[in-house]
Amino acid sequence: MHLKYFTLFIFSLVFSLLFSQKSESLVPKDAVTVFSINNFKLLQKISLDDLISYEFMEEIHQELFDGSTSGKSLKEAGIDFDQKLNVFSGRLNDCEISGFSFGIKNKEQLFTVFDDFYPVSYPKINGIEVYGSFVNSLIIKNEVALLIRVEPLIEQVNKVADSIWYARGNEIPFNNEDLEEETILSEEIFDEERENLFPVASFDPNEKNYNELKDSVQLVLQNKKLANILDELFNQNINLIASNRLFEKQLTHPVEAVFFLDNARNLKEPNELWYLQTFFPDINKDIDGLYDGNFILGDLSIIDNKVEFNIEVLYNENLGSIYQELSNSSFDSKVLKYIPESSTAYFTSNMNLREAYEKAFEVIMPLLEKKNDSEMAINLLTAELLNEFVDKDALFGTCKGSLFGFFNGIKKIKIKKIEYVYDENFNYIPQSTDADEDMPIFTFGFSIDRTDIPEKVFKHLERSNLKIVNMGNYWRYDNAILDAAPLYMISKNGLFLFTNDEDLAINHSQGYGDKSISHSNIKKAMNSNLIYASVDVGTSLTLFPVDLLGAKENQLIESLRGKTGIIELKTTKAKKKNANMQLVYSDFSDDQTGKHLLDLINAIYVASK
Amino acid sequence: MKKIIFIFFIPCLFIFQSCIEIIDDLTIHKDGSGVLKYTINLSASKVRVNSILALDSLDGAKVPSISEIKKKIALFKQTLALQKGITNVQITENYTDFIFKFECTFINVNLLQEGLQMSYSVISNDKSNVNSNFTWLYLDSKQLKRSVPELTTERLKKISQKDNELLKTGSYISITRFDHLIERFDNPLSKISKDKKALMLKTNIYSLKEKQSLLENTIYLISD
């Protein structure tokens, strides 16, 4: 009898382990980027308000930023910390998806956080509970949940809405003859003139105007895509694990978190390679195959108060052959003596551009030659002629591929400003005065064999009207930086440098000598084949100017602003089918390891979006 | 070459403190006519202005090019010159130091205000401005009342909190000159000139944003 119960118990246990659905099985196959956090327990202490302030949680901000999370931690949200938290996103041809899946411990507690959701019926999908909110859907099956947002691309919505609108015999929906570009961009005017800009509602309340039609189309497309995803996940058991063995394998790694990026699909997103896609769609389509099999896989582990992110980049042999040539270069150690020890952020990059170019030409041209059309023939002819006629020795002798750069804090620079000086009767005259301004100091440099080429360029520029002056050891370009500060150009020791650091130009044109970066850092840079970078997060990113960088770079830097620690990036030599990188985040000023893990995850999420 | 330098060093920009100086200089003659001079001095912020001009957009708003700015200024000048009672419209534009000076003469303050309101509505492409309260000057033979136009106060209110620090470094100087001698004035922040014919009020733009009444003043004149 006992044996019978014991056998039944074992059978039930094995059955439940084998067949119970885990949170990771709810990641849709369309996900392009996935973060799967294994050691979810680390995050228990983190408040929900802190968690949702990360960009990777941005899609559900609206759900959670309604006061329901105030003062609560993840522990009180009914979440099962023994299961993984999987954050995913992806952009498809017709829509964007994003969300996360997780385990549930206490459904009642969960709905104290997700308190805006209402039940929705999906009769064709059995065994699941679906809840909807304004934009997101929450799907619960047994002990796991999926929070997902599906957003049809606006182009797709417009396309469908327009076709219905015109098929009904309607005319152009917008009366925007007098609308100027700045009017559209001015939110204030836009709000005030909204009624004139958009079609008015019909007299017949049953007939939709254009915007109502568009809303309906968006909703239908959204529901259709969501129904597809749910059907795949819960009826057909099609998910990312089943569709991609690399992701399945990645999930088995005994680390704190894993990262998965299907870069081939990422590159096919409408936003990427837009120029090529728009102007040379055929070329883009043909070289598309170059990125097949291009995946970026990462393991995040916490070792001795350090977060290590080990990345493996997988690619096909064609792309691999180009990367191999690119990384087939010996390190130019001369660059290191030009990086001062005081620098809080620097990078070195060592590439063989000549060999990579030759290989890319060899690999890509045959791919393009398969196309038989006149436009492609002209493009190929142009490429062939340039390849023949351009002096590659001169080109790659000028820029070989060894690059470096560093940020050396903030220094004072002198600028001229106009001040008005008033007399006793308040008459005023302008007066030019000196003013000190804080200027972030940057230096960029590269290895060069053909030092005669920039010399020729600057010699002729000096004779023209440009404010370029030969100062003997360096060239100075007055007011080059935003009409206020000089730029210095130095050609020494087989290196060419651009800098706004006067001290470097005047006193260190031969390098910083014993004030350059330490021996251990030199060793690290030399051992890191393709790229080495080191950033003191606390000092550099606080000072680093971001306001006027591109939106994405800005977001990336903002995601780490206010944090502490050192981030180091190391790479290995590219192999035939893969290359490895390591990002280490260390030397925290506190012991909030879970938070640092999230900081890094967030930065990687922002960078990979 | 300069374009490349821009790309490399554009990050330098954020660090510069923005600083703007605005001088509004109004002269009222005995017959009610006068001269308005308006100076915007961005020379202390020229690095930042240059960097912003190199961008396509900032905080989601389109950044105009210099040629677009020139067109708007020319349109303003042309429109104002056509307004009744306004003559000698002059605008000097200095795109090296970013100093802009505007000057015009007027027959009376009512026509000046109407002309400016109409011209502003045209360049801002916003017809609703025509109906807003644009009166900030009231003049009779013995006194002049100055305030801040409603349009300006509305604009100031819309400046975001994050720009407050920048506004604190900017100054607004309001000068009012008369042929008459000044008897007294209501705003204690005003300073009177040595010849007793001019008043100056100086504030920073942040304070003006927070309290628009800072520039309000009633100036009482000594009759002939």
Of A418, A426, A461, the CB nearest to B99: A418
State the DSSP code for A386: H
Instruction: Return d(Cα A459, Cα A464) in angstroms, integer.
Output: 9
Q: What is the pLDDT of residues A548-565, one digit of tens each?
A: 455 555 666 666 666 778
For chain A, how are helix, strand and coil distributed in percent, rounded to 5?
40, 25, 30
Which A residues in the span 537-566 are in contact with B, Cβ-Cβ below 8 Å? 543-549
Asked if B47 lies within 8 A of A415 by C-beta distance, the reply is: yes
Asked if B195 lies within 8 A of A189 by C-beta distance, the reply is: no
Chain B positions touching A418 (Cβ under 8 A) are 41, 43-44, 97, 99
Q: What is the pLDDT of residues B167-222, one digit of tens each?
A: 777 888 999 999 989 999 999 999 999 999 999 999 888 888 788 788 889 999 98
Chain B positions touching A443 (Cβ under 8 A) are none
pLDDT beyond 50 at A182: no
pLDDT of the residue at B199: 95
Query: Contact at 8 Å (CB) between B129 and B155?
Result: no
Q: What is the pLDDT of residues A305-360, one digit of tens each?
A: 788 889 998 988 888 888 888 888 877 888 888 999 989 889 998 888 888 888 88
Asked if A480 lies within 8 A of B5 by C-beta distance, the reply is: yes
Asked if B194 lies within 8 A of A424 by C-beta distance, the reply is: yes
Q: What is the pLDDT of residues A84-125, one digit of tens each?
A: 889 898 888 888 898 889 899 888 888 887 777 888 887 777
Strand partners, A87: A35, A100
Given CB atoms, is A480 within the 8 Å cutoff of chain B?
A: yes
- Enumerate the H helices of A79-209 as residue ranges: 107-113, 154-167, 181-185, 187-192, 194-197
Instruction: Return d(Cα A399, Cα A489) in angstroms, integer.
Output: 15
E-assigned strands of A222-279? 257-262
Give the residue from B27, B43, B199, B219 with the most A CB atoms within 10 Å of its CB, the best one to mutate: B43
Structure tokens, A55: 């960009």
Give the residue from A189, A196, A548 with the most B CB atoms within 10 Å of its CB, the best one to mutate: A548
Asked if A417 lies within 8 A of B46 by C-beta distance, the reply is: yes
Asked if B5 lies within 8 A of A425 by C-beta distance, the reply is: no
Query: Contact at 8 Å (CB) between B178 and B142?
Result: no
Asked if B12 lies within 8 A of A546 by C-beta distance, the reply is: no
Q: How many CB pairs under 8 A join A and B?
A: 123
Query: Contact at 8 Å (CB) between A217 and A164?
Result: yes
For the ranges A53-62, A280-289, A395-404, B130-139, the lowest mean pLDDT is seen at: A280-289
Asked if B61 lies within 8 A of A483 by C-beta distance, the reply is: no
Asked if A548 lies within 8 A of B197 by C-beta distance, the reply is: no
| Identity of residue A263 | N
ipTM of the complex: 0.86
Which A residues in the span 456-475 are in contact with B, Cβ-Cβ below 8 Å? 461, 466
- The contacts of residue B42 (CB under 8 Å, 6+ apart) are B19, B20, B21, B49, B97, B98, B99, B100
